[in-house]
Amino acid sequence: MPSSPSSENPILGIDLGTTNTCVAHVRNRIPRVVPTDKGSLVLPSVVALAEKGDFLVGGVAKDQMVTNPRNTIYGAKRLIGRKFSSKVVQELRSYYSYDIVEGPQGEAAVSLGGEVRTLPQISGLVLSHVKKLAEAFLGREMGRAVISVPAYYNDNQRHAVKEAGRLAGFEVKRIVNEPTAAALAYGFNRGLDQKILVYDLGGGTFDVSVLQLSANVFEVLATGGDTFLGGVDFDNRIIDFVLEVFWREHKIDLAGSPIAMQRIKGASEAAKIDLTLIPNVALELPYIEEKKGKPLDLRVRLSRTQLDDLTVDLVDRTFEICDQVLSEKGLKPAEIDEIILVGGQSRMPLVQEKIRQRLGKPPRKGVHPDECVALGAALLGDSLDRIDSVTLVDVLSMPIGVATPQGRFRRVLEKNNAIPCSRSFRLPPPREPGQSIELDIYQGDSDDIVDNEFLGSIRLPAAATGRRVDFKLDEECLLKVTFDDPAQGMRAVDFATRDTPEQLRRALAEEAARRAPGGESSERAVRRGGGLFGWLRGRQ
Ligand code: AMP
């Protein structure tokens, strides 16, 4: 039963972007973007710790990035919900100017003012800021939200975004995939019968989805993407080019100077955006370095043609993914009725030209790439409480399965399974006779678990061998595991831990060492270790 009509207790739609966050609300069934206090339609997704110890969010945080780079957190969307040890995070560590550290659960976290902060805390600050902006603009409390995530986000990332929303004081009514939200903004209440392709090239991620729209039924047919391909990769190509030009002229490598790098980063992104409108730009940064006591200025010319040459492989990669997604469903580009663009980077002229070449038609005008996801999320929020609501049929973007003893990945739920969905299988015997049964759950496209994302482990008594276990994905694409307990019937199984198996093994070894004569008392270890050691204690 709906809690209260959406007109009385409206739900915000929030697009928590890599670069910018956009928030929308619905009034009289029309979605509108909520402007910031500066009148802008988006808020930079940046959090900083100012000299005096205050948190800054949005434009003011972004403005002090050059002078205080180590305490300015941007691009959190690329880190949230990822393991610290993952390849993506390790690559980002060398590239981001703030410190990425290991969080309490082995997840990527950041160090701000010498303190470890989790990514849900950081994104929670952005969300809490937009909550306040929306409340001031709409003149009422806004306690509920639908938040969008890339379709390619795994279970951990979805949980982390939900947690960020909770920390911001929201009741998160739904996590929705960004392309689905964009499709809603395009097709809601228009009575369309079309196949559309949503091409989403944002600041950090690329997603492509094909949807069938039939009146207010939005069915995702196929989806694909790359969580490591977005606007920042385009910026990096310009940065490398600028560094090379400066090196050729002055034999000075500016890569070693964090302040110079911040300035070059900002100027490179600005140049890229300008080149969308004009054919030539010059990056000018006075007094970027000194040589023999004399100031050196940086001045580099860049044309749109040069930018295209520097980045064409990135654009081509997006079309390889489009081809894969279409071929998975046996679709031809000619069968697509409309192409919707999402994400700021999709404005690049080269992207639009390649869309025409590769997909045979120009993208649809009139759908705003920065706003459509938030507008669609708000429309979904508004429809959640209504009887004539929309129907979303989404799909799983990456398989979910379990590890075999040989380190292989056995798929349980397949990619492109329509959600909600579930699949059961029989529990295998324990690895050692008499021990509990352990199932390590992973998500990813690889056949080897090392390349996939660890979601958590479940542990059940040896007596459960041969009983039924059920993997179920809800409409938010979040995994629930249930088990056919002989005593209680089907019951939910909590993930014993979201630590990696390696962390568990390390923790076990540490615990054993503490228990050895002269080691730390186990009681203290339990208090320090929280849930994990609680579990260990339970097994003694
Ligand atoms: P989003 O994640 O959707 O906020 O995308 C932001 C990305 O789009 C950033 O990498 C921006 O540099 C990029 N971007 C924004 N506007 C433009 C533009 N006009 N031309 C090219 N890239 C842009």
Domain containing residue 412: CATH number: 2.60.34.10
Q: Residue 211 corresponds to which amino acid? A: L
Are 493 and 514 part of one and the same domain?
A: no
Q: Is 273 in the pocket of ligand 1 (CB under 6 A)?
A: yes
Decide if 48 is inside a domain: no
Are 491 and 513 part of one and the same domain?
A: no
In 3D, which of 13, 35, 30, 19 has the Cα closest to residue 133? Answer: 35
Q: 288-299, pLDDT tens digit by residue?
A: 999 888 999 999
Decide if 535 is inside a domain: yes
Q: 372-393, pLDDT tens digit by residue?
A: 999 999 999 999 878 667 899 9
Q: Is 363 in the pocket of ligand 1 (CB under 6 A)?
A: no
Are 521 and 480 part of one and the same domain?
A: no
Residue 272 predicted with pLDDT over 50: yes
Q: Which residues pair with 226 in a beta bridge?
A: 206
Distance of CA 533 to the CA centre of its chain: 30
Residue-level pLDDT at 382: 93
Q: How many A from CA of 459 to the centre of ligand 1?
A: 44
Distance of CA 517 to the CA centre of its chain: 46
Residue-level pLDDT at 505: 55
Q: How many A from CA of 243 to the centre of ligand 1?
A: 22
Residue-level pLDDT at 492: 83
Q: Is 361 in the pocket of ligand 1 (CB under 6 A)?
A: no
Decide if 453 is inside a domain: yes
Decide if 170 is inside a domain: no
The number of domains in the chain is 2
Are 505 and 467 part of one and the same domain?
A: no
The protein residue with its alpha carbon nearest to ligand 1, atom 9, reads 203
By the 10 Å C-beta count (0-12 exposed, 13-18 middle, 19+ buried), 16 is classed as buried
- Mark which of 466, 484, 499 sits at the end of a domain: 499
Residue 518 predicted with pLDDT over 60: no
Enumerate residues 6+ apart whose C-beta is below 8 A from 68: 48, 49, 50, 51
Distance of CA 65 to the CA centre of its chain: 22
Decide if 316 is inside a domain: no
Are 439 and 480 part of one and the same domain?
A: yes
Q: 400-412, pLDDT tens digit by residue?
A: 999 998 889 999 9
Residue with more model confidence, 529 or 248? 248
Decide if 481 is inside a domain: yes
Residue 123 predicted with pLDDT over 90: yes
Residue-level pLDDT at 507: 52
Enumerate residues 6+ apart whose C-beta is below 8 A from 353: none
- Please give the residue range of the domain that contains residue 441: 400-499
Are 416 and 494 part of one and the same domain?
A: yes
What percentage of the chain has pLDDT greater than the value 90?
A: 64
Q: Is 225 in the pocket of ligand 1 (CB under 6 A)?
A: no
The protein residue with its alpha carbon nearest to ligand 1, atom 1, reads 202
Do residues 406 and 56 touch, judged by C-beta distance below 8 A? no
Decide if 484 is inside a domain: yes
Q: Is 268 in the pocket of ligand 1 (CB under 6 A)?
A: no
- 132/11 Cα distance (integer angstroms): 14
The protein residue with its alpha carbon nearest to ligand 1, atom 16, reads 344
| Backbone dihedral angles phi then psi of residue 513, each to the nearest 5 degrees | -65, -40
Decide if 326 is inside a domain: no
Are 465 and 532 part of one and the same domain?
A: no
Are 470 and 419 part of one and the same domain?
A: yes
Residue with more model confidence, 312 or 434? 312
Are 482 and 431 part of one and the same domain?
A: yes
Q: 214-259, pLDDT tens digit by residue?
A: 999 999 999 988 878 999 999 999 999 999 999 999 999 999 898 8
The model carries a pTM of: 0.84
Q: Which of 19, 78, 95, 278 to mutate to test ligand 1, by most ligand atoms within 8 A of the CB atom? A: 19
pLDDT (average), residues 192-199? 97
Residue-level pLDDT at 119: 97
Do residues 119 and 111 touch, judged by C-beta distance below 8 A? no
Q: What is the mean pLDDT of the chain?
A: 88
Residue 2 predicted with pLDDT over 80: no
Q: Is 272 in the pocket of ligand 1 (CB under 6 A)?
A: yes
Q: 493-507, pLDDT tens digit by residue?
A: 877 644 444 554 555
Are 473 and 404 part of one and the same domain?
A: yes
Q: How many A from CA of 180 to the centre of ligand 1?
A: 20
Are 450 and 478 part of one and the same domain?
A: yes
Q: Is 19 in the pocket of ligand 1 (CB under 6 A)?
A: yes
* Closest ligand 1 atom to 369 CA: 3
Are 512 and 492 part of one and the same domain?
A: no
